[in-house]
């Protein structure tokens, strides 16, 4: 399959309201699927398509030190570099870098924007070559498996046959599990964090609320809002507000906000943001719409909903990992009610049943699902210890 470097400014839809926001995407890009399109789980095909990515560190001469970092639902490839839209540090900058948990003096780290995303990888906001207009809802529905196949093509493009490790939390953890199930021969170690082998009914329900909020916004225009030079800002903001609640925990909300009032001494007897927690959620919603595309939100949440390693393996999760030689470290957090420890234990039980090499750690914290993105020392030390031991085993295997 022929693959080539992507031009500096690949075709994407003009977005008058975006200004310098989601349209501004720096970083590396690869044009993939040039000779043969990517066949998707839906039966549709996509190609050529662009994958935006960032790398950190140096690939060694044996190409044995590559680490794939998989981002979550609203993340992107700026895992350890300044975000070009928000100006904020990378979302995993505490973990990735020289001398850090994922040590870029030792490892070559790759992080790509997922298929269907809005930060440079081909998605619904890009131009459909068949029409010259934004894809909108003409973009094919994608799955976690499709995302991983696109990542596999990126590795081929970079000349990397096998990964030392794949690591990610939440939807990133789903990608790690998909890698381990579909391509075990390309993966030495896997760290799925705060995730599940299939999306629960509760989580599908939360996603549906968010999607309906977007689609109920008159500016959504049946998904064709870019043609009209507008965006469903209100709907996307509400979707983000609802989702953000699930990333936290009740103790964390109480500690951070309680029932404290926002910039006032008494209740306003109105529907303004009386409480600090209301103001916080409104800020989360309004800032999110500046960096994310509404249709991408629909597509990526749907991909998470469709993820089900049980169904993909005839109702048997152990079968997904049958015969695997990949080493696993599964991590959960006590206060995570979005992907609770019970869901992570199911993964561990399946790996045990498949006679896989697996360790499991439950981190005590009240920071909720987002703990994997925060400064959590026990989490950092757990991942650091696993990576160090797995790397020693990898080096021994390479020398053998």
Question: Six-digit token pair at 144?
Answer: 């976690």
Q: Is position 170 annotated as part of the catalytic site? A: yes
Give yes or no for a contact between 81 and 88, defined as CB atoms under 8 angstroms apart: no
Rounded to an integer, the average pLDDT of 266-277 is 92
Q: What is the pLDDT of residues 30-55, one digit of tens each?
A: 999 998 999 999 999 999 999 999 99
Q: CA–CA distance from 210 to each of 206, 239, 241, 368 (Å)? A: 7, 4, 9, 20
Q: What is the pLDDT of residue 3?
A: 39
Q: What is the pLDDT of residues 170-213, one digit of tens each?
A: 999 999 999 999 999 999 999 999 999 999 999 999 999 999 99
Residue ranges in 28-182 assigned as alpha helix (H)? 144-157, 171-182
Phi and psi, residue 194, nearest 5° = 45, 60
Distance separating alpha carbons of residues 199 and 192, to the nearest angstrom? 14
Distance separating alpha carbons of residues 86 and 336, to the nearest angstrom? 27
Give yes or no for a contact between 41 and 302, defined as CB atoms under 8 angstroms apart: no
79 closest CA partner among 65, 66, 69: 69
Q: What is the pLDDT of residue 10?
A: 43
> Is there a binding annotation on residue 240?
yes
Instruction: Name the pLDDT band for 12 (thresholds 50, 70, 90).
Output: low
Q: What is the pLDDT of residues 338-354, one digit of tens each?
A: 999 999 999 999 999 99
Q: What is the pLDDT of residue 70?
A: 99
Residue ranges in the chain assigned as alpha helix (H)? 144-157, 171-182, 201-216, 233-247, 250-256, 276-288, 294-306, 309-312, 317-320, 341-353, 377-399
Q: What is the pLDDT of residues 86-131, one digit of tens each?
A: 999 999 999 999 999 999 999 999 999 999 999 999 999 999 999 9
Rounded to an integer, the average pLDDT of 136-156 is 99
What is residue 87's DSSP assignment? -
> Is there a binding annotation on residue 125?
no
- Tell me if residue 191 falls in helix, strand or coil: strand
Residue 27 has pLDDT above 70, yes or no: yes
More confident residue, 124 or 270: 124
1 closest CA partner among 27, 28, 30: 30
In the block, which residue shows the tokens 């990397």? 160
Q: Is position 336 annotated as part of the catalytic site? A: yes
Picking from 91-105, 172-186, 246-260, 262-276, which range would have the lowest pLDDT averaged per residue? Answer: 262-276
Average model confidence (pLDDT) across the chain: 93
Q: What is the pLDDT of residue 9?
A: 38
Rounded to an integer, the average pLDDT of 236-262 is 96
Length of the chain in residues, anyone? 400
Phi and psi, residue 141, nearest 5° = -65, 135
Residue percentage of the chain with pLDDT more than 90: 90
Rounded to an integer, the average pLDDT of 285-292 is 96
In the block, which residue shows the tokens 């570099």? 81
Residue percentage of the chain with pLDDT more than 70: 94
Kindly name the residue from 12, 112, 170, 335 that is annotated as catalytic. Answer: 170
Domains of the chain as residue ranges with CATH = 4-199+308-399 (3.40.50.1820), 203-301 (1.10.1740.110)
Give yes or no for a contact between 138 and 131, defined as CB atoms under 8 angstroms apart: yes
Instruction: Name the pLDDT band for 4 (thresholds 50, 70, 90).
Output: very low
Instruction: Name the pLDDT band for 13 (thresholds 50, 70, 90).
Output: low
Is residue 132 packed enough to be buried (19+ CB in 10 Å), middle (13-18) or exposed (0-12)? exposed
Instruction: Name the pLDDT band for 23 (thresholds 50, 70, 90).
Output: very low
Beta strands 102-103 and 133-134 are: unpaired
Rounded to an integer, the average pLDDT of 300-325 is 98
Q: What is the pLDDT of residue 25?
A: 52
- Tell me if residue 193 falls in helix, strand or coil: strand
Is residue 71 packed enough to be buried (19+ CB in 10 Å), middle (13-18) or exposed (0-12)? buried
């Amino acid at each position: 399959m022929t693959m080539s470097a992507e031009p500096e400014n690949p075709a994407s839809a003009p977005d008058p309201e975006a200004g310098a926001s989601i349209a501004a995407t720096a970083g590396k890009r690869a044009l993939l699927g040039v000779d043969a399109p990517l066949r998707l789980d839906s039966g549709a095909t996509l190609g050529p398509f662009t994958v935006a990515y960032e790398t950190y560190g140096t690939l060694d001469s044996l190409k044995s030190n590559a680490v794939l970092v998989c981002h979550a639902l609203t993340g992107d490839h700026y895992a350890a570099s300044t975000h070009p839209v928000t100006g904020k540090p990378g979302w995993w900058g505490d973990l990735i870098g020289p001398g850090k948990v994922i040590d870029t003096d030792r490892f070559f780290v790759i992080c790509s924007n997922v298929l269907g995303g809005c930060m440079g990888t081909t998605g619904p906001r890009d131009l459909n070559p068949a029409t010259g207009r934004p894809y909108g809802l003409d973009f094919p529905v994608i799955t976690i498996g499709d995302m991983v196949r696109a990542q596999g093509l990126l590795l081929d493009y970079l000349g990397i046959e096998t990964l030392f490790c794949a690591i990610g939390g939440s939807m990133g953890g789903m990608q790690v599990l998909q890698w381990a199930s579909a391509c075990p021969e390309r993966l030495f170690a896997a760290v799925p964090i705060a995730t599940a082998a299939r999306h629960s009914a509760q989580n599908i329900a939360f996603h549906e609320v968010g999607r309906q909020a977007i689609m109920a916004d008159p500016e959504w225009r049946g998904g064709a809002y870019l043609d009209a030079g507008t965006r469903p800002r209100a709907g996307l903001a509400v979707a983000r507000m609802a989702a953000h609640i699930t990333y936290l925990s009740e103790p964390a909300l109480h500690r951070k906000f309680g029932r404290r009032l926002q910039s006032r001494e008494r209740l306003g007897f109105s529907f303004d943001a009386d409480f600090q927690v209301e103001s916080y959620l409104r800020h989360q919603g309004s800032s999110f719409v500046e960096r994310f595309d509404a249709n991408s939100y629909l597509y990526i949440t749907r991909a998470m909903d469709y993820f089900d390693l049980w169904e993909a393996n005839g109702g048997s999760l152990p079968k997904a990992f049958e015969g695997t030689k990949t080493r696993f470290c599964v991590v959960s957090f006590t206060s995570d009610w979005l992907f609770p420890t019970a869901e992570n234990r199911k993964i561990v039980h399946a790996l045990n049943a498949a006679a896989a090499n697996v360790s499991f750690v439950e981190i005590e914290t009240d920071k909720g699902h987002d703990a994997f993105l925060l400064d959590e020392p026990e989490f950092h030390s757990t991942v650091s210890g696993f990576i160090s031991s797995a790397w020693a085993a990898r080096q021994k295997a390479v020398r053998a």
